[in-house]
Amino acid sequence: MSKFTKEVFLLERVSDTMQENSFYKLPAAEAEKLINENKAVDAKEIQQIRKIDEAADNLVDAYKKAVNYIRNSDEPRIKNVPGQAEYEIEQIKDEFEKEIHELENLKAQAIDQFYEEAMREKANALRYIPDADKEASHILITQLINEVKFGFVQNALNELKEQINYMTTIRKKAVLLEFSKFAEEVEKKAESASSDTQKQSLKRQLREIYSQLTNIHDPALIKAKMAEALKDQGATFTSYRILKLTHRTYVNKKIL
């Protein structure tokens, strides 16, 4: 790969549909920006898995070429013998299926290993929060709770959302320790809101704020998120899945 490009795993592309490939080769500067913004992970973290993916892609390409060769072959042993082409393609297909499933097993093992490693790092990561950040967060949340109690709910929400944009990772973690107190007071106000629309709006804003607070650049958490996404994706290969949906040796009963 060029030194001017970098392959990354885009975290935001893997939450809902795992049918699409989540790895992208991007200009190095753009890739680094996404990594620093906690939106991507350098693909070198999972080189072993990527190599298995590449091996599967190569195997699929080789299978299609082999089938195409036999289908269009002018060799007498194939062209002049009824059923010979079908027989050889079936043999190729059987061998291909065997090899692709072996790769799936290898990928499943690699994902499991990466997942265990990532979860272990996440569980044992040091998350020290200085007393100064804890105290500052306690004061901030207390002030915002008072605003909520005196009826300035939207002001309090806006203030917290604005401050989060400028918080360090450590300060976000400290605010998270206090956030449930603030959320409890806002939810009380939401339950007594004059309309269902206002009630849902307050709850939606709370979810958005929580998402902001948890969107932190913590290597252990990022790695764990990537591991969870890979676990959800499973050990299948996109190229193999597309082959089974489109190639005539899988779609049609007659392979020629």
Domain ranges of the chain: 47-125+222-251, 131-217
| Mean pLDDT lowest among 18-32, 89-103, 181-195, 231-245 | 18-32
Banded pLDDT at 200 (limits 50, 70, 90): very high
Give the distance from CA 57 to its chain's centroid: 20
Rounded to an integer, the average pLDDT of 106-129 is 91
Q: What share of the chain is helix, strand, coil (3-state, %, to 5)?
A: 75, 5, 20
Which residues, other chains included, contact 49 with Cβ-Cβ below 8 Å and sequence gap of 6+? 107, 110, 111, 114, 230
Tokens of residue 157, six digits? 């929400």
Amino acid residing at 86 = E
What does the mean pLDDT of the chain come to? 87
Q: Is the pLDDT of residue 17 over 70?
A: no
Residue 162: name the closest of 151, 154, 174, 152 by CA: 154
Average pLDDT, integer, range 188-203:
90
Please say if the pLDDT value at position 115 is more than 50.
Answer: yes
What is the pLDDT averaged over residues 7-35? 65
Task: List, in sequence order, the alpha helices (H) in 165-254.
Answer: 169-191, 196-214, 219-233, 238-246, 248-251
- Among 38-47, 69-78, 154-163, 193-202, the minimum mean pLDDT is found in 38-47
Instruction: Report the range of poorest mean pLDDT among 8-22, 48-62, 132-146.
Output: 8-22
Q: What is the pLDDT of residue 30?
A: 86
Residue 238 φ/ψ, nearest 5 degrees:
-60, -45
pTM: 0.68
